[in-house]
Copies of this chain bind each other. A is one copy, B any other.
Amino acid sequence: MNDLKQYLTARRSAIDAALLAALPGPPACPANLADAMRYSIVAGGKRLRPILCLASAEAVGGDSALAMPAACALEFIHTYSLIHDDLPAMDNDTLRRGQPTLHVVAGEGMAILAGDGLLTEAFALMAREPRGDDSSLVARKARVIGIVAAGAGTAGMVGGQAIDLTGGPLDADGLRGMHARKTGALIRASATAGAVMGGGTDGQIEAIDRAASEFGLAFQIIDDVLDVEGASAELGKTAGKDAAAGKSTYPALYGLDISKRMASECLDRAAAALASMNLADSRLLQIGRWIVERSN
Q: Which residues of B contact A124 (CB under 8 A)?
A: 146, 149-150, 153
A158 at the interface (CB under 8 A from B): yes
Identical copies in the complex: 2
What is the interface size of chain A, counting residues whose CB is below 8 A from a CB of the partner?
A: 52
Q: Which residues of B contact A37 (CB under 8 A)?
A: 154
A120 at the interface (CB under 8 A from B): yes
Min distance, Cβ A186 to any Cβ of chain B, angstroms: 11
By the criterion CB–CB under 8 Å, are B127 and A149 in contact?
yes
10 A-B pairs closest in CB distance:
A127-B146, A89-B108, A124-B149, A33-B162, A29-B154, A135-B135, A28-B155, A120-B153, A89-B109, A123-B149
Q: 28 pairs across A/B with beta carbons < 8 Å?
A: A24-B154, A28-B154, A29-B154, A29-B155, A32-B162, A33-B162, A80-B116, A84-B112, A89-B109, A89-B112, A90-B109, A110-B162, A113-B165, A116-B116, A117-B154, A117-B158, A119-B119, A120-B152, A120-B153, A121-B153, A123-B123, A123-B149, A127-B149, A135-B138, A135-B139, A138-B138, A138-B142, A141-B142
A interface residues (Cβ-Cβ under 8 A, vs B): 24, 28-30, 32-34, 37, 80, 84, 87, 89-90, 107-113, 115-117, 119-121, 123-124, 127-128, 133, 135, 138-139, 141-143, 145-146, 149-150, 152-155, 158-159, 161-163, 165-166
